[in-house]
Amino acid sequence: MSPETTVDRRTFLKAAGGAAATASLAGCIGDGGDGGGDGDDGGDGGSGGTLVYARGDHPENYDPQQTTSGEVAKVTNQIFDQLILFTPGSGGALEDGLATDYSLDGESANVTLREGVTFHDGEEFTAEDFRATYRRFADDSYDYYLGENRSGYGPFTLGNWVDSVNVQGDYELEIQLTQQYAPFLRNLAMFAASVLSKTQIESLGANPDDQVALGTDPVGTGAFALDQIDNENQRVRLTANDDFWGDGPQVDAVVFKTITENSTRVQDVINGDSHITDNLDSQSSQQVEDAGSAELLSKDGINHGYMAMNMARREEFRSKEVRQAIAHAVNTEAIVNQIYEGFASQASQPLPPGVLGRNEDLDPYPTDKEQAEQLLADAGYEGGFEFELATFSNPRGYNPSPIETANQVKSDLEEIGFTVNVNQFSTFSSYLDYTSAGNHDACFLGWYTDNADPDNFLYVLLDPKVDLEDVPDGQDWVSFDTEGYSTLNVSGWANTEYMEMVREAQRTYDEASRRSTYQEANALAHEESPWVFVDYAKTLRAANEAVSSYTISSVGGPYLNTVTIN
């Protein structure tokens, strides 16, 4: 999923209503049932019918290259395929998608494509389609190049790593990389790397504004084809692609409908008007648990919510003891159990569980105020100091109650003498502006994985991406205006030992040695504590009892092609 996923959008959105009535209504409307009751028109034993997926938001453009939204990806993942897929529910294992064979070798990747796959419009899928997909996204010499202002994923997924894509034959691709890059295969599995049709790309105008039309009529190779985007009623309807190359689809159609209010949406699932929904909070989870007709599915999420201490801005944070003292003082157990109500687990290191290179020997910093005071005294900051803690206001998956969390941190730290000024931002984008400029003393942020690769956390978030030579000797931080600095690293941390490790691992193709390097890097990050590691949020879904064979997944998906409804 994408970082833009928020858990509870109630602050802005609500559609009271919805559910309860529609169930009892099916009969009297006379429209053949409102969603749920449609299992009977498919006929044969559990297959057929319309699967209704309820969600909290209705985007209007379904182009995987023109979005940063997880809501868009939920739909495009049904319509499009990637060359390589995440194994459903695995937490980052890969399996064949439109490619049947792939390997990384030095600075190139060789990919053999699946034959006999057709797009929904009947065109055959070949290597040229992937090349056009890549070029539209990241090659500014291509006529149909989208430009920079469509999505942050262009350079991030392909652009920064791919030098060129060469077609070796109808079903053979050679991808030249800009460097050895181990996460590359996982990048190919990201929603943003969905394979588009060259015919469609080039049938639209070369102007990026004309390419917008692709998002209102997306043509892919996926299990479902777009039937209708009904903006007035905030619905999308997909129909089964009978020529789908993979498993399924089992149902005749999928309807994505929009119910903004969490508990209303969940109630819709409980009533059987919808079958599956996501973005649950504690309230709505409880609702599912209490209901007999729906099930709460939960899985460890691949994400991390943290509090970064900005070493570039505050001298005090440059002392490891101070950072450790804060890590000991902040009661992350209370945050996770009381404020997040157990829908997250306590974090001990940058990498969440289940990801390659996770170090199981590390435990969360125990809450210990005496030790915290001792560490502060050792560092020469007895009684703490005053600093600013920036926070956003609206819940996000990894931090469902940002303000309360900030207040908890404040009261924990004020117990050992700190003065914490909470600085609250009303919009997330203005918050990102602030933190990526390095204007904060300390801030909350978090990350949902893109590709379930350790590099996606350890390199992306904690490596400043500056030249090693630009880090002064004996210093483990750099300022935000250092050349090449990546503002995704909001703590200014620049530990050269750590940087060497994660850069090395990024180029290592051998999984065992990658794993051990990352485990070491995790241990170092734990020790140095540039962040207070707060939590890993769980992935939650609710499914009606009519649903079977649905696999909940923390990356990729939702996998609806295998789902049947009874």
Q: Within positions 182 to 221, which residues make up the interface with another protein, using CB under 8 A?
A: 209, 212, 215-216
User: Is 74 strand, coil or helix?
Assistant: helix
Q: Is 408 in the site for another protein (CB under 8 A)?
A: yes
Q: Which is nearer to another protein, 99 or 192 (CB)?
A: 192
| Rg of the chain taking only CA atoms, in angstroms | 24
67, 277, 310, 554: which one contacts another protein (CB under 8 A)?
A: 67
The whole-angstrom separation of Cα 414 and Cα 243 is 63
Stretch that binds another protein, among 360-368, 378-386, 407-415, 502-510 (CB under 8 A): 407-415
Q: Is 9 in the site for another protein (CB under 8 A)?
A: yes
The whole-angstrom separation of Cα 63 and Cα 58 is 14
Burial of 233 (0-12, 13-18, 19+ CB in 10 A): exposed
Q: Is 64 in the site for another protein (CB under 8 A)?
A: no
The alpha-helical segments, DSSP class H, found in 172-221 are: 184-188, 198-203, 208-211
Buried b (16+ CB within 10 A) or exposed e, 497-534: ebbebbbebbebeeeeebbebbbbbbebbbebbbbbbb
- Taking residues 81 to 120 in sequence order and writing x for each that binds another protein by CB under 8 A, - otherwise, the string is ----------------------------------------
Output the six-digit token pair for 197.
């049709």
Q: Is 338 in the site for another protein (CB under 8 A)?
A: yes
Shortest distance, position 7 Cβ to another protein, whole Å? 14
Residue 364, preceding bond cis, omega within 30 degrees?
no
Q: Is 348 in the site for another protein (CB under 8 A)?
A: no
Site for another protein, residues 533 to 552, rule: CB under 8 A? 538
Residue in the block written with tokens 């500056």: 466
Q: Is 300 in the site for another protein (CB under 8 A)?
A: no
Shortest distance, position 526 Cβ to another protein, whole Å? 23
Q: Which is nearer to another protein, 384 or 395 (CB)?
A: 395
Q: How many residues bind another protein (CB under 8 A)?
A: 113
Q: Is 66 in the site for another protein (CB under 8 A)?
A: yes
162, 182, 259, 327: which one contacts another protein (CB under 8 A)?
A: 259
Stretch that binds another protein, among 303-311, 419-427, 501-509, 526-534 (CB under 8 A): 419-427
- Taking residues 375 to 404 in sequence order and writing x for each that binds another protein by CB under 8 A, - otherwise, the string is ------------------xx------x-xx
The number of residues making up the chain comes to 566
Stretch that binds another protein, among 49-57, 319-327, 375-383, 500-508 (CB under 8 A): 49-57
Cα–Cα distances in angstroms (integers) from residue 521 to residues 401, 451, 548, in the given order: 30, 19, 41
Shortest distance, position 21 Cβ to another protein, whole Å? 3
Cα–Cα distances in angstroms (integers) from residue 566 to residues 43, 413, 452, 552, in the given order: 10, 53, 33, 19
120, 186, 257, 440: which one contacts another protein (CB under 8 A)?
A: 257
Stretch that binds another protein, among 34-42, 218-226, 320-328, 466-474 (CB under 8 A): 34-42
Cα–Cα distances in angstroms (integers) from residue 109 to residues 105, 154, 461, in the given order: 6, 19, 25
Q: Which is nearer to another protein, 203 or 231 (CB)?
A: 231
Q: How is residue 220 annotated by DSSP?
A: -
Shortest distance, position 459 Cβ to another protein, whole Å? 13
112, 194, 221, 262: which one contacts another protein (CB under 8 A)?
A: 262
Q: Is 468 in the site for another protein (CB under 8 A)?
A: no
Cβ atoms of residues 521 and 528 within 8 Å? no
The whole-angstrom separation of Cα 125 and Cα 2 is 27
Output the six-digit token pair for 320.
């490891």
Range list of β-strands (E), 414-530: 419-425, 442-448
Site for another protein, residues 436 to 465, rule: CB under 8 A? 436, 450
User: Is 112 strand, coil or helix?
Assistant: strand
Site for another protein, residues 121 to 180, rule: CB under 8 A? 147-153, 155-156
Q: Is 425 in the site for another protein (CB under 8 A)?
A: yes
The whole-angstrom separation of Cα 388 and Cα 434 is 13
Q: Is 422 in the site for another protein (CB under 8 A)?
A: no
103, 168, 293, 411: which one contacts another protein (CB under 8 A)?
A: 411
The whole-angstrom separation of Cα 172 and Cα 101 is 10
Q: Which is nearer to another protein, 155 or 354 (CB)?
A: 155
Buried b (16+ CB within 10 A) or exposed e, 348-379: bbbbbebbbbbbeebebbebeeeebbebbeeb
Cβ atoms of residues 452 and 302 within 8 Å? yes
Question: Who contacts 28 (Cβ-Cβ below 8 Å, separation ≥6)?
Answer: none
Shortest distance, position 257 Cβ to another protein, whole Å? 5
Q: Is 286 in the site for another protein (CB under 8 A)?
A: yes
Stretch that binds another protein, among 51-59, 112-120, 308-316, 549-557 (CB under 8 A): 51-59
Stretch that binds another protein, among 101-109, 223-231, 522-530, 543-551 (CB under 8 A): 223-231
Shortest distance, position 61 Cβ to another protein, whole Å? 5
112, 234, 391, 517: which one contacts another protein (CB under 8 A)?
A: 234
